[in-house]
Amino acid sequence: MAVVEVTKSNFDAEVVQAGGPVLVDFWASWCAPCRMMAPVVETFADAHPEIKVCKINIDDESELAVRYKVMSIPTLVVFRGGEVSAKSVGVIGREELEQLVK
């Protein structure tokens, strides 16, 4: 499944109202750790079509970053039923990502 770019205008439809779990990657283009995390997130998305994977650029969507208390990036947040169920800050490997979402 392709990674979905999310903005404040489509956040509710893509994340809050999603039927299943959603993994959201808060990132920025200037962030080297975020660029390291990107292929891990993309590989995860391809391997798990049952999980919606979204990216939020914090430079463009600072309101969403503030709402979910994103202080450092990359920050990965798992939503279930529109609520935060798990969160991870910093670069993690594929195995850790699998555990985060479970």
Choosing from 6, 23, 24, 31, the catalytic residue is 31
Residue 67's Cβ-side half-sphere holds a number of Cα atoms within 13 Å equal to 14
| CA distance between the termini of the chain | 18
Region class of 90: left (phi > 0), else alpha (psi between -120 and 50), else beta: left
Would residue 34 show up in a list of annotated catalytic residues for this protein?
Answer: yes
Q: Which residues contact 35 (CB under 8 A, 6 or more apart)?
A: none
Q: How far is CA 75 from the centre of its chain?
A: 7
The single residue of 6, 24, 34, 73 carrying the catalytic annotation is: 34
State yes or no: is 31 an active-site residue: yes
Active site residues: 31, 34
